[in-house]
Amino acid sequence: MTDSFRLALWAVNLGRGAAGLDDWLARVEARAREVAAAGARLLLMPEYASEAWLGFKPAGLPPTGEIAWLAGVAEAALPGLQGIAERCGIALLPGTIPWPVAGGFRNRAWLIRPDGRSVAQDKLCLTPFERDPESWTLTPGDRLRIFSLDGWRCAVLVCLDVEMPAIACLLATQQLDLVLVPSMTDAMSGQSRVFGCARARAIELMCAVACSGVVGSAPGSTQNPRNVSGNAVYLPCEPALGFTGVLLATPVTDGCAGEEPFDVVDVPLGTIRAIRAAGGEVWPGAWSAAGVEIELEGS
C-alpha cells in the first residue's frame, strides 16, 4: 500500500443529458478510462448524477412517478456500472441513484470495487424536498457502513449527512482515512453548507474528505432547474499537510456555460494516518465530552 491515494472527482454537468441508458453508461466508461489512464484508483461522481436519465423518461411521467421510474432504470444500470469498474480496473462511486427498499425508495450510493463487488450506502438524513409527497418521496437509510478500499478505511456520507454532527460522532471512533461526499445543491448557500461541514469533518475525524456535486440542470428535470457546485478535497489542518486543510477546491459553478469540473489528486492518506496515530498538534482523538455537563443560568 502506497502512502497516497490517487482520486478522481467528476462534478457531472447534468445539462449534457443522455439519449438513453447505453449512452449514459458509455459516457461514464469514457471518463473511467481517462481516470484509469491517469493512475487514479477511484472515480467519485455526485449525488443524483442519475437525474440525467430524465432526458429519456416516458412522455407524461408525473413528478410523483419519477423516483419509481429512475429506480427501475437503476436496476438495469448497476450491472453496467459494475462492468465498467471491472473493465477499467478502478473503483467507481457513480453518484447516487434511487433504489427500491422495503416498499419504498432510498437515495443510494453504490461503491463499486474493481472486481465488481459493491457496497451500498443510503442517505441517512433526507431534505424536505426528498420527503415531499408531491414530488420525490424517499425513505432514509438506517445503516452507516465502513468499508476498505486498497487498505484504507472509508465511508460515504451523502450530501446533507455530512452536515449532521450526530453522524460525525458515530464516525469519531472508526479511525477513518477517507470520507466520500457526493452532493446536489441548488444554491451557493447549500453548497457552502455541505462543503463547509465537510471541511470541519476532516479536522474532527482526522481524515481526508472528498466532495463532488452536480452542476447544470438535466433535460426533462421537473424538480432541479439549477445546480451549483464543484469539487473539493479537505485534509486535517496540520503543518505536514500544508496548514490550511485544503488540498483541492475548484471554483463553484452552475454549469450554464458547459463547465464540468474534473480533477485528479493524490491524497496523502498515509501521512494523515501517521498524524492521527501520533495525535497531531492538538487533536485529542475521539473525544466524547464525557463528564461535561450543560448548565443553564437563570435569567
Strand order in the sheet with 246-249: 147-149, 152-156, 178-183, 208-213, 231-234, 246-249
Residue at 295 is within a domain: no
pLDDT digits (tens, 9 = 90+) for 138-180: 999 999 999 999 999 999 999 999 999 999 999 999 999 999 9
Closest of 46, 41, 35 to residue 95, by C-alpha: 46
Residue at 296 is within a domain: no
Residue at 229 is within a domain: yes
How are beta strands 91-94 and 178-183 bridged, if at all?
Answer: unpaired
How are beta strands 118-122 and 104-112 bridged, if at all?
Answer: antiparallel
Grid coordinates belonging to 19: 439519449
pLDDT digits (tens, 9 = 90+) for 210-251: 999 999 999 999 988 999 999 999 999 999 999 999 999 999
Residue at 191 is within a domain: yes
Residue at 249 is within a domain: yes
Q: Which residues of 105-142 are buried (b: 16+ CB within 10 A; e: fewer)?
A: bbbbbbbbbbeeeebbbbbbbbbeebeeeeebbbbebe
Residue at 286 is within a domain: no
pTM: 0.97
**Is the model's pLDDT at 299 over the cut of 70?**
no
**Adjacent-strand bridge partners of 10:** 262
For every residue of 183-228, DSSP letters joined together read E--SSHHHHHHHHHHHHHHHHHHTSEEEEEE-BS--TT-SS-S---
Number of domains in the chain: 1
Residue at 287 is within a domain: no
What CATH number is given to the structural domain containing 208? Answer: 3.60.110.10
DSSP H/E element including 273: helix 269-278
pLDDT interval class at 298 (50, 70, 90): confident
Residue 191 one-letter amino acid:
Q
Contact present, 207 and 236 (Cβ < 8 Å): yes
Residue at 177 is within a domain: yes
pLDDT digits (tens, 9 = 90+) for 257-293: 999 999 999 999 999 999 999 999 999 999 999 999 9
The whole domain housing 125 covers 5-278
